[in-house]
Amino acid sequence: MASNLLKAYSADIAIRTGDIEHSNTTGYKVNVHEILPGVVYKDANVAVTAFAVHHGKWAHAYGYRFDTPDRTIVISGDASPNRAIIDNCHGCDVLIHEVYTNASFDLVSAEWKQYRLAYHTSSKELAEIAAAAQPGLLIIYHRCNPGCDQARTDECRQAGSENQVLKEIRQNYNGHVVAGHDLDIY
C-alpha cells in the first residue's frame, strides 16, 4: 500500500523535491511496520501496546495503550464492545472511545442497526465499558451515527448530537466524560 501511495504521488514528490521548491528529500519516505497484538513501540518516554478489538468483519483491528512515566492513555480504535478495552484500561488515566447514540439508533433501518451492532459501540455500551474500566477521564471521539448521518434531517442531527451522546452516557456512567475536539488538551 505504501509503495503504491508513493507511486500515486510521484509527480508531486518530484516537483517538490527536485524543482524550484527544494523541499526536504526524505520527509515523504515511509517506514512501514506491520503489527500484531503486544508492544509495538517503546522508548524512554512511551510504550505503545496494540490489542485486538472487534470491528465487524475486519480480521485486524486494534486499540492502543500508551504508557508514559506519568499517564496511561487507551484509545479504543474503531470498535464494537470488547473486554480487551476494559482489560487494557483498568483504571487508566484517559480512555478515548468511539460512540454512537441510542437515540439515532432508533431512527435507522434494520440494515444500519445490524451494521452498528457489528462495527461500533453505543452510548449505553460505552457507559458500561467505562464503569468497568474506571478511567480517570473518558473522552468520546469518532461520534458515528451511520444511517442517520446520511439522512441529514433535523431529527437525526439532534439524535446524534454531542449533547445527546453525553446525556446518554451520563445516564449510566458517573465518571468524568467529555467530547473530544481537535486541538483539545487534557
Structural domains in the chain, sorted by start: 1-32 (no CATH), 33-179 (3.60.15.10)
The pTM of the full predicted model, rounded to 2 decimals, is: 0.87
Report yes or no: 125 and 85 within 8 Å, Cβ to Cβ.
no
126-130, 144-148, 149-153: which has the highest mean pLDDT?
126-130
Q: Return the percentage of the chain with pLDDT > 70, whole number.
A: 99
- In angstroms, the Cα distances linking 181 to 73, 108, 153 are 17, 26, 23
Q: Among all chains, which residue has been given the C-alpha cell 446524534?
A: 160
Residue of 59, 135, 67 whose CA lies nearest to 97: 135
Report yes or no: 54 and 62 within 8 Å, Cβ to Cβ.
no
Q: Return the percentage of the chain with pLDDT > 90, whole number.
A: 75
User: Is a pLDDT exceeding 80 seen at residue 151?
Assistant: no
Radius of gyration of the chain (CA): 20
pLDDT of res. 147: 80
The pLDDT confidence band at residue 96, using thresholds 50, 70 and 90, is very high
Report yes or no: 69 and 109 within 8 Å, Cβ to Cβ.
no
3-state DSSP assignment of residue 185: coil
The neighbour count for residue 56, using CB atoms within 10 Å, is 15
The pLDDT confidence band at residue 5, using thresholds 50, 70 and 90, is very high
- Answer with the residue of higher pLDDT: 27 or 133: 133
pLDDT of res. 21: 81
pLDDT tens for each residue of 10-21: 999 988 888 788
